Amino acid sequence: MHVVAIINKAAGSVSAAGGIETLSRAVARSFSHHGIEAELIAAEGDAIAQAAVRARERGERGELDAVVVGGGDGTIRSVANVLAGSAVPMGILPMGTLNHFARDLKLPFDLDPAIDIICQKEWRAVDLGSVNGAIFVNNSSVGVYPYMVADRDRRRGAFGLGKWPAMALAGLRALKRFPFRRLSLAVEGSAKPYRTPMLFVGNN
């Protein structure tokens, strides 16, 4: 068995594991313990989806057996958006802050047990959502919440804040503005207008 493991080097648990190089060695060692060759790719941002595209192409040519993604919900979504609809399986190594999707699938958060599950090769299908052609695995939203997430990421990049302090400041700013959106929801043939600060769609 041969896998490509795409790890988000900016994921929440990477620094706690001693950095991306230490974590990559641990991932390769754990797969090797099962007799599986793991090719490690450390990436972040748009490079994650680009690596997933190349891995999918290799999987479709029969050059690898699975694509493994290490990161949080956003990283998993990026790779799932590429692999959805293909016959290339995706393994998950929960390395984010909250790991909602992995939690919903009842996957272990520790590295070795998560790799043990991947190595069992018991693949199963999961539900996905789609908004404007883009896949999501956990949730999709319009309004206050994505505004807060974008502001949180901006503050983390500009001031070096942790995720939770940045989110708290972003939340205070969002509550101060609290913009409303005019939306129309069409469900099972009937439509209804709404004026709301947020539309949140969960897939669980």
DSSP per-residue codes, 59-104: HHTTS-SEEEEEE-HHHHHHHHHHHTTSS--EEEEE-SSS-HHHHH
Q: What is the pLDDT of residues 137-171, one digit of tens each?
A: 988 998 888 889 889 988 888 988 888 899 999 98
Res 5 pLDDT > 80: yes
Burial category of 8 from C-beta neighbours within 10 Å (exposed 0-12, middle 13-18, buried 19 and up) = buried
Beta bridge mates, 69: 6, 92
pLDDT band at 112 (very low <50, low <70, confident <90, very high): very high
Residue with tokens 């192409």: 57
Type of residue at 170: A
179 or 116, greater pLDDT: 116
Q: What is the pLDDT of residues 37-86, one digit of tens each?
A: 999 999 999 999 999 999 999 999 999 999 999 999 999 999 999 999 99
